[in-house]
Structure 1
Amino acid sequence: MTQMESTQFAAEQIRNAIIAGHFQPGDRLVEQQLTDMLNVSRHPVREALRLLAREGFVEIKRNKGASVRAVDADSVIEVYNIRMALGKIALDHLLAEPSRMTPADIKRLEKLAENAVKFASLDSQVETVRNDLEFQQAIIDATGLQRTIRYFSELTADVRRFNQQLGVVYTDRRGDAEKYVVKLLESLRDGDLRTAHEIWQAKFSKALERYLSLIDDSDSDGASRNSVGVKASRPSAR
């Protein structure tokens, strides 16, 4: 592998380990240990940690090294506002000319909407979360807008990290599947941009509120959100 490929490989492996919870907030990320674990040289690991710091997964402090960054309110608000805006761009683009959605796009969305209802009855919420993220991405992918697709996809890693670190529990999966997935698909089929926007806005606003309800903001007036703790055991409606 080239140096750049090694860096990307190391970043992907460390990022996935953080998302999966193998590294917890505050855990130190020691370069030599990561080098041994990933079987790459030290330089790509160092560059990977810098890349992950720019993405918000890691924080690097002088004389202390790198550690896993905890989820904070500012990050959640930023990620969800961007994803919400990208979704509206996608909806505007798709419904400006309904023919932009191909039969294959519709078929993919129909299958995901069907799965959303089916998975809501399962004991585990894992498939519901995976399917919902794929449904969102399918709408974005249908636009063919490469920057929108790339930015939205990249931020999905943050959403997975939020879910893992905050211990999110979805309590009304059936209702949400019908309200935010099936109804959104219907609005796309009908070419109803206003309703599609309203559903997308409501869906992401609810998600944002859900995450923020799990974050204990130490500054009660909301002026600063730089130091927050996580209430990992507190359930929240989806």
Structure 2
Amino acid sequence: MMSEQKLIEPIPYDDFRPARDLVLERLREAILNRTLVSGDRIVESDLAQMLNVSRTPVREALRVLEAEGLLKRVPRKGLFVKGITKEDVEEIYAIRISLESLAVSKAVEKIAPAEINRLKQLVDLMRNYTESSQADKLFSVCQEFNDILVRSCRMPRLIKLVRVYMEYLEQFRTISMAKRERQIVALNDHEEILQAVIERDPIRAEMAVKKHLTGALEAFLREEGLCDKSEINK
């Protein structure tokens, strides 16, 4: 069962999005950042009290997390955190690579000059933050770069799918970007992507995105050394 040390911040009163979405976001983040770890037992009433919401949005969010494979129901024992395994990370990255490759190939055709200018500014900021070893600011700028690039594909359904997997990977990317050598590689990758966008070369842009995300996956796995799936004792 979750201990008192594993507190999750309550849902803020001034966020007016649907309660289920807020609870889902908060719980998914808690699993991905390992506030909740593999084997933790999930108690619906405890979560509702902790998040300061009714049990209904918690129940709905738990169903989604179970369907996503982040939770596991054990007969006669309850619901447990399954957590993220090496195989999960590889699958999520594979999906994101496919989605973002498609997005960038379309973005190259549709991106506006003003958006390209902003990408140039962001790469300049990346260079400054890499040289000054400001990892948090570098990560934030990379996020904006990626968001602009994906949005410029002008395909709402694809954008929505990419954002789902970006959310999954946010915690992984923070870890993979922690080391300076990875920051330098990421800067070079974004410079390659930008140049392909400027030249409106979809094939080159797609290859650069695949290279960047594959490198991010490899960096994360090296840093974390994720183990194989762990089974909850029956």
Structure 2 length-normalised TM: 0.78
Amino acid paired to 1:207? A
User: Which residue is 1:200 aligned to?
Assistant: 209
Q: Please say if residues 72 and 82 of structure 2, whose CA atoms lie closer than 8 Å, have aligned partners that are also in contact.
A: yes
Aligned residues: 215
Q: How does 1:2-17 map to 2 (within 5 A)?
A: 5-17=18-30
Could you list the per-position Cα deviations for residues 163-214 of structure 1 after superposition, in whole angstroms to 9, with x for gaps in the alignment?
Answer: 57x7873331452243111221011101223322221121111122223333
1:43 to 2:53 alignment: no
Which range moved further: 143-152 or 105-114? 105-114
Aligned partner (choices 137, 140, 144) of residue 154 of structure 2: 144
User: 1:155: Cα distance to partner?
Assistant: 0.6
Task: Name the structure 2 match of 1:131.
Answer: 141
Inter-CA distance 38–178: structure 2 relative to 1 (3 Å threshold): closer
Q: Is the 8 A contact 1:133 1:156 kept in 2?
A: no
1:2-56 deviations in Å (ceiling 9; x for gaps): xx93322321222233345433343333211111122222232122111122234
By how many angstroms is 1:162 displaced? 3.1
Distance 1:179 1:159 in 2: 20
Equivalent residue of 2:83, what SS?
Answer: coil
Aligned-partner SS, 1:184: helix
Provide the residue aligned with 1:72 in structure 2: 85
Q: Deviations over 1:104-159 (max 9, x none)?
A: 32133223212221222344523323332332222111011111100110111211
C-alpha contact (below 8 Å) 2:107/2:154 kept by paired residues? no
| Separation in structure 1 between the aligned mates of residue 42 and residue 122 of structure 2, nearest angstrom | 37
Q: Alignment partner for residue 171 of structure 2, among 156, 161, 167?
A: 161
**Distance in structure 2 (CA, Å) of the matches to 1:167 and 1:104:** 30
Two-structure CA RMSD over aligned residues (Å): 2.8
Q: Specify which of 41, 64, 74 is matched with residue 28 of structure 1.
A: 41
Q: Is the CA contact 1:72–1:215 (under 8 Å) kept in the aligned structure 2?
A: no
* Stretch of structure 1 that moved more, 169-178 or 5-14: 169-178
CA contact (8 A) 1:53 1:59 kept: yes
Contact 1:35 1:45 in 2 (8 A): yes
The amino acid across from 1:133 in the alignment is Q
Percent sequence identity is 27
Question: 1:58 corresponds to which residue?
Answer: 71
What SS does structure 2 have at the residue aligned with 1:22? coil
* Structure 1 counterpart SS, 2:37: coil
Residues 180, 199 of structure 1: 8 Å contact kept: yes
Q: Is the 8 A contact 1:7 1:44 kept in 2?
A: yes
Amino acid at match of 2:214: S
- Give how far 1:64 is off: 3.0
Alpha-carbon spacing, 1:44–1:63, altered in 2? closer, same or farther (3 Å): farther
| 1:90 alignment partner, one of 97, 100, 103 | 103
5+ long unaligned stretches in structure 2:
1-12
- For structure 1, the 5+ residue unaligned runs are 219-225, 229-238
1:34 maps to a residue whose letter is L
Local SS of the residue matching 1:67: strand
